[in-house]
Amino acid sequence: MTLRIRTAHTAELTPAELRAVRALLDDAFEGDFGDDDWDHTLGGVHALAHDGRGLAGHGSVVQRRVRHQGRWRRVGYVEGVAVRRDVRRTGIGGGIMTALEEVVRRAYAFGALSASEAGAPLYTARGWRAWAGPLHAVGPQGVVRLPGEEGSTYVWPAPADADDPGAELLFDWRDGDVL
């Protein structure tokens, strides 16, 4: 299998490429990928893996603002990582993450993502670490705690206090799932 991975900003993708990405994500997430999720995937840098059959994998990294240690930081938030069903567990997800991690390394203070139970092994094998402390977001009503996201939010490269159960991250607000 010859695999090509290309990175491109959302603005560089054609309407046909965007339709193919959305179809891949709809299929990979088995109907649990809504319009808010799609919106979260756009506006950053995409990694697109193509094989002889077309789009085989995708992921993107978008900018989020996160307060960490009392300072607002630009964080690369990974979204929409998926691999076509017939080529899963062949290294495509790792290739996608290598491309996205390069973007994070060069452009952001650190990376963050929210992982499903099934997806977490891909990230932990690459050095992503679950954030141990509380997670919050600045919402329309002020700061809100996100206990449902604790334990499934990962960072890379991990800040020194990633394992400190007292260290918090405060995310900017967005519609749909905040993280």
Residue-wise pLDDT tens digits, 50-84: 999 999 999 999 999 999 999 999 999 999 999 99
Q: Which domain does 54 fall in, by range?
A: 4-171
CATH code where residue 167 lies: 3.40.630.30
86 within domain boundaries: yes
Residue-wise pLDDT tens digits, 133-148: 999 999 888 999 999 9
pTM score: 0.96
Q: How confident is the model at residue 179 (pLDDT cuts 50, 70, 90)?
A: confident
44 within domain boundaries: yes
Residue-wise pLDDT tens digits, 97-132: 999 999 999 999 999 999 999 999 999 999 999 999
pLDDT of amino acid 1: 60
Three-state SS for the chain is: CCCEEEEEEHHHCCHHHHHHHHHHHHHHCCCCCCHHHHHHHCCCEEEEEEECCEEEEEEEEEEEEEEECCEEEEEEEEEEEEECHHHCCCCHHHHHHHHHHHHHHHHCCEEEEECCCCCHHHHHHCCCEECCCCEEEEECCEEEECHHHCCCEEEECCCCCCCCCCCCEEECCCCCCCC
36 within domain boundaries: yes
177 within domain boundaries: no
